[in-house]
Amino acid sequence: MDVEEVIDKMLKTSRNDMAYAVEGLQPEQLAMVSSVLMFRAALYAELAAYADYRGGCGCGDHGHEEALQRAHGHMRLVRRTLGFSIP
Ligand SMILES: [Zn+2]
């Protein structure tokens, strides 16, 4: 199994056909796909927050330092929400 291929298939498949994307995978493989996606969800939240605080929020650039701090906070929030033991 190629984790990236499975993730790509999941992203491109309609939610109603999601079963097809994970068909035949073993529990350990599904766990690996899940952990990669969870890690990325937190990473993407961090990057999104950074972009927002650099001006994407619509109220101007908050500067690199504040954006970094906020980005870290968002990443921790998402990790906590997803149930990571070490946020
Ligand atoms: Zn703002």
Q: How much distance in Å is there from the Cα of 56 to the middle of ligand 1?
A: 7
Q: How much distance in Å is there from the Cα of 41 to the middle of ligand 1?
A: 22
Phi, psi dihedral angles at 62 (to 5 degrees): -85, -5
Q: Is the pLDDT of residue 87 over 90?
A: no
Q: How much distance in Å is there from the Cα of 54 to the middle of ligand 1?
A: 8
Q: Is the pLDDT of residue 20 over 80?
A: yes
The span from the CA of 10 to the CA of 82, in Å, is 19
Q: What is the pLDDT of residues 32-47, one digit of tens each?
A: 999 999 999 999 999 9
11, HSE (Cβ side, Cα atoms, 13 Å): 8
Q: Where are the domains of the chain?
A: 3-81
Q: What is the pLDDT of residues 51-79, one digit of tens each?
A: 999 999 999 999 999 999 999 999 999 99
Angle at 41 between CA 36 and CA 44, to 5 degrees: 120
Structure tokens that stand for 13 in this block: 């498949």
Residue 39 and residue 84 in contact, taking contact as beta carbons nearer than 8 Å:
no
Rounded average pLDDT over 15-43: 95
Q: What pLDDT is stored for residue 55 in this prediction?
A: 97
Q: What pLDDT is stored for residue 54 in this prediction?
A: 98
